[in-house]
Amino acid sequence: MVKKCFIAFLLILVFPVMTPAEDRNFKMHNNRGVADYDKGEIDRAIADYDKAIEINPRYARGYYNRGIAYHDKGEFDRAIADYNKAIEINPQYAEAYYNRGIAFYDKGEFDRAIADYNKAIEINPLFAELYYSRGIVYYDKGDSDKSLSDYNKAIEINPRYAQPYFHRGVLYSKKGDFDGAISDFNKAIKINPGYAEAYYNRGLAYYAKGDFDGAIADFNKAIKINPGYAEAYYNRGLAYYAKGDFDGAIADFNKSIEINPRYAKPYYHRGVLYSKKGDFDGAIADYNKAIEINPGYAEAYYNRGLAYYAKGEFDGAIADYNKAIEINQGYAEAYYNRGIAYNATGEFDRAITDYTKSIEINPLDAQSYNNRGVAYGKKGHHDKAIADYTKSIEINPDYAEPYNNRGMAYHAKGEFDRATADYIKAAQLGNKNAKDTLRKSGIMW
């Protein structure tokens, strides 16, 4: 969230004529309100600002400060009303426009936020926080170019301002420029060595580059600064997983869940690891939890389907693939694996339909062609099967299984020489079934 600005600002205001005692009193209440606010006593601060405004209804800063306090309580409309009043009294009050813009941003009213930032920039073109905050709004609106321009301007005005470097780094990461992102996170960290989010995001960039050790080092630093950083534990777990350290990954997923039991992703990835270890019941329990937290989690349904399939519960697997496809109709792997489940239940036409859909989504999926060939073969359609095996081999000439399967299809058609040639190729690529077939036939390869 954008931080609110509490900057002392020289204002030229027209106040009602008041006695020296009254002048001291309203300022005293305002100053006491600021002190209460700084101590986190928001309601007491508001009460003091109320008193300052009661004494001097034309005191713009009193409305401004009370607006900040209401904002901190999440009362954005009341905050906006106070900023409105401050601006009415002093139309050149750049900070009031700025903070009203933040309130509009927090309400999701991005265009009104931008309008306020524009006005504040018009009043004070060297106010770096304004460009930075407007850049965040543009980013959230999907306008990366305007966002980048504003971060650049904020940095130009104040090269020691860590946040725009950080957010520009996030933007570069989103664009796939991980080296540019890392450079900006480096600058943010140099300015603010305690910037946990900068270490965390630099870790994400290193991870995206395949530098898992660099990622782990940065997640370690983020966790040292903020031991309650659930996302840092989760992503460090992913890095350990990528390095093959499954126990380290599970420990980090456990810690992430301990910190935030409503965080779906570590349950999901812990489930993936349990499946990899053969603990399908443990995996299913974790996928259940991930789905409970996020009912639209297509990958969790899909992977729970894989776990049910591994347990021989084909109907349960099919039901989960159905749900994954309902959520994501372009989920090629879900169609492919539902096809495998239908094949296991003898529903070859349904299997063929699913493999065909998988191929439609991903025309270079050699496995879908191979498996559709198997389904055609089960139905006795050997020519269609051979065509699919041939396409699978065309896509991946080092894929042993379609050579063996095509050999069986040729054998079923009585084309023994072609069958033998395919068995030999499959055996050379390491296919055990082809080796056994050739051995039984006394053929050397």
Cβ contact 72:42 at 8 Å: yes
Q: pLDDT at position 181, please?
A: 98
User: For residue 444, what pLDDT band results from cuts at 50, 70 and 90?
Assistant: confident
Q: Write out pLDDT tens, residues 116-134.
A: 999 999 999 999 999 999 9
CA of 267: how far to CAs of 10, 175, 251, 255, in Å? 54, 28, 12, 11
Averaged pLDDT for residues 277-282: 97
Number of neighbours of residue 194 by Cβ within 10 angstroms:
11
In 3D space, the residue among 247, 309, 299, 300 whose CA is nearest the CA of residue 273 turns out to be 247
CA of 184: how far to CAs of 48, 136, 168, 215, 235, in Å? 42, 16, 7, 16, 20
User: For residue 25, what pLDDT band results from cuts at 50, 70 and 90?
Assistant: confident
pTM assigned to the model: 0.87
Cβ contact 236:252 at 8 Å: yes
* Two structure tokens written together for 182: 């890392």
User: For residue 1, what pLDDT band results from cuts at 50, 70 and 90?
Assistant: very low
Averaged pLDDT for residues 211-230: 98
CA–CA dist 138, 251 (Å, integer):
38
CA–CA dist 45, 394 (Å, integer):
74
CA of 397: how far to CAs of 3, 294, 343, 391, in Å? 57, 41, 25, 10
* Two structure tokens written together for 76: 């954005």
CA–CA dist 404, 431 (Å, integer):
7
Q: Write out pLDDT tens, residues 396-438.
A: 999 999 999 999 999 999 999 999 999 999 999 999 999 999 9
Q: What is the DSSP string of 175-213?
A: HT-HHHHHHHHHHHHHH-TT-HHHHHHHHHHHHHTT-HH
Q: Write out pLDDT tens, residues 63-92.
A: 999 999 999 999 999 999 999 999 999 999
Averaged pLDDT for residues 207-226: 98
Pairwise pLDDT comparison (102 vs 20), residue with the higher score = 102
Cβ contact 235:200 at 8 Å: yes
Query: What value, to the nearest 5°, has the Cα angle with vertex 61 and ends 106 and 49?
Result: 85
In 3D space, the residue among 271, 257, 278, 275 whose CA is nearest the CA of residue 300 turns out to be 271
Q: pLDDT at position 2, please?
A: 39
Can you tell me which residue has the tokens 């840092």?
232
Q: pLDDT at position 86, please?
A: 97
* Two structure tokens written together for 110: 């991005």
User: For residue 3, what pLDDT band results from cuts at 50, 70 and 90?
Assistant: very low
CA–CA dist 427, 200 (Å, integer):
48
Q: pLDDT at position 20, please?
A: 55
Q: Hey, what amino acid is at 397?
A: P
CA–CA dist 299, 328 (Å, integer):
9
User: For residue 24, what pLDDT band results from cuts at 50, 70 and 90?
Assistant: low
In 3D space, the residue among 345, 351, 341, 396 whose CA is nearest the CA of residue 377 turns out to be 351
Q: pLDDT at position 297, please?
A: 98
Q: Hey, what amino acid is at 384?
A: K
CA–CA dist 71, 60 (Å, integer):
17
Burial 22-41 (b: 16+ CB within 10 A, else e): eeebbbebbebbbebbeeee
Q: pLDDT at position 27, please?
A: 86
pLDDT of residue 18 exceeding 60: no
Q: Write out pLDDT tens, residues 335-385.
A: 999 999 999 999 999 999 999 999 999 999 999 999 999 999 999 999 999
In 3D space, the residue among 73, 8, 15 whose CA is nearest the CA of residue 34 turns out to be 8
Q: pLDDT at position 268, please?
A: 98
User: For residue 291, what pLDDT band results from cuts at 50, 70 and 90?
Assistant: very high
pLDDT of residue 10 exceeding 50: no
Q: pLDDT at position 445, please?
A: 78
CA–CA dist 139, 165 (Å, integer):
14
Per DSSP, 16 falls in state P
CA–CA dist 366, 344 (Å, integer):
20
Averaged pLDDT for residues 311-326: 98
- How large a percentage of the chain has pLDDT more than 70? 95
Average of per-residue pLDDT values in the chain: 94
Q: Which domains does the chain have, with CATH numbers?
A: 18-91 (1.25.40.10)
Q: In sequence order, which ranges of 311-381 are alpha helices (DSSP H)?
A: 314-327, 332-344, 348-361, 366-378
Q: pLDDT at position 384, please?
A: 98
Cβ contact 272:283 at 8 Å: yes
